[in-house]
Structure 1
Amino acid sequence: MMVTCMEPDEVLIDAEDRMQKAVDVFKDALQGLRTGRATPGLVDSVRVNYHGSPTPLKQLANISVPEPQQLVIRPFDQSILTEIVKAIQSSDAGMAPNSDGRLIRINVPALSTERRRELVQRVGKFAEDARVSIRNIRRDANKHVEQAEKDKTISEDQMKSAKDEIQELTKKFEGVVNDQAKHKEEEVMNE
């Protein structure tokens, strides 16, 4: 996606927007990771086969947390109860749903030390993926300003200044990812 007519300010705005989206994707990935307590985010990634199309569970049911170790799922349409159970069982959430014909209860057991370490590794992988995305965005933005300088639409000083600002954005968003990852790792290990 090489567009040569972007001004340095436009490149910076575009890079910042894209970096924010990378951080948002990372935060969403962390939401689905289990800690020691139940949260509706544990089933956010579950897709249910509803009339032939994979539909997010939260669009098909009310999800509540009546106790710290339990999720309760109340489908809006009782006829899809078995489809919801199948979707939860086949997801990578690793939970066993119990259905009474009206609603589904999921008991969230405490995490073993080994499982906690696995989750910390997944947090690290998600964080590294986010940092790689941010660096790729930095690379693209730098190419834009370099091309603008080659095309003589900006001066060499403007290019250097824009690259410095792009690097500052990169540091800022990598710092957000690192802070979020550290917080989630502590949450996983201490819950």
Structure 2
Amino acid sequence: MSDEIEIDTDDLERRMKGAMESLRHEFASLRTGRASASMVEPIMVDAYGSPTPINQIGTVNVPEPRMVTINIWDKGLVGKAEKAIRESGLGINPQLNGTIIMLPIPELNEERRRELTRVAAQYAEHARVAIRNVRRDGMDQIKKAKSSGMSEDDQKFWEGAVQELTDKMIASVDQALEAKQAEIMQV
């Protein structure tokens, strides 16, 4: 193998891991019937004239498996935070207790669980597509290197390395999907 032409597999791996990290973040936002602080991360509250993430105006805790509490630091923002939660589309009815907003997480019915598993599968497919796009970029780099003098043996080596990396990342997406679907279907 010649040392003259190399393909940057570290960059490809970094980009594939980015797709995987994005998938984990999307999975965390799925409501599974179990309380999670990440459920409220996307909620923006109109605080002091600008949209602010709810976790920046109060402390988010998960004291019980089916309860999220948010201790709002500024009493004046409690009403706005409650309104933002109601309008967020989470389907959770907040309960006020002074400056603490309690979010009881209801049980999911079977139909909703199946729907969430389909959503999780869509997220996983998006991650697979992103990983395949990175693979395609890597293969394009190899083709360009081939046209600029890479030997056929080197080409086969790098194609194998890129494919192996792709297979590994796709397998980790599939693993994450299986785990998330099992978590969603758990009653």
TM-score, length-normalised on structure 2? Answer: 0.91
1:141 maps to a residue whose letter is G
Deviation readout 1:79-104 (Å, 9 max, x if unpaired): 22222222212223221112234111
Give 2:71's match in structure 1, choosing from 69, 74, 82. Answer: 74
C-alpha separation in 2, matches of 1:109 and 1:156: 59
1:155 aligns with 2:164: no
- Please state whether the residue corresponding to 1:92 is helix, strand or coil: coil
For structure 1, which runs of at least 5 residues remain unmatched after alignment? 1-5
Alignment-derived partner of residue 85 in structure 1: 82
2:109 matches 1:108: no
Amino acid paired to 1:175 = A
CA deviation after TM superposition for structure 1 residue 8, in Å: 2.9
Shift of 1:23: 0.3
Aligned to 2:182, which of 175, 180, 186?
186
Partner amino acid, structure 2, of 1:137:
V
Instruction: Please state whether the residue corresponding to 1:8 is helix, strand or coil.
Output: coil
CA RMSD of aligned residues (A): 1.7
Q: What is the count of residue pairs matched by the alignment?
A: 184
What displacement does 1:110 show? 0.5
Shift in alpha-carbon separation, 1:100–1:142, aligned structure 2, 3 A: same
- 2-structure distance, mates of 1:143, 1:55: 42
1:8 maps to amino acid: E
Matches within 5 A, 1:35-54: 35-54=32-51
Task: Report sequence identity in percent.
Answer: 36
Matched, 1:166 2:162: yes
Which residue is equivalent to 1:57?
54
Distance apart, 1:177 and its partner CA: 0.7
Q: Which residue of 2 aligns with 1:8?
A: 6
Structure 2 stretches lacking a partner, 5+ long? none
Q: Deviations over 1:84-129 (max 9, x none)?
A: 2222122232211122341111110111001101110111000000
Instruction: Give the whole-Å Cα distance in 2 for the aligned partners of 1:51 and 1:7.
Output: 55
Distance 2:70 2:55 in 1: 9
TM-score calculated relative to the size of structure 1: 0.89
Per-residue CA shift, 1:166-189, capped at 9, x if unaligned? 111111011111001101101111
Q: What is the rounded CA distance, in whole Å, between the counterparts of 2:170 and 2:12 in structure 1?
A: 13
SS in 1 for 2:35: coil
AA at the equivalent of 1:134: I
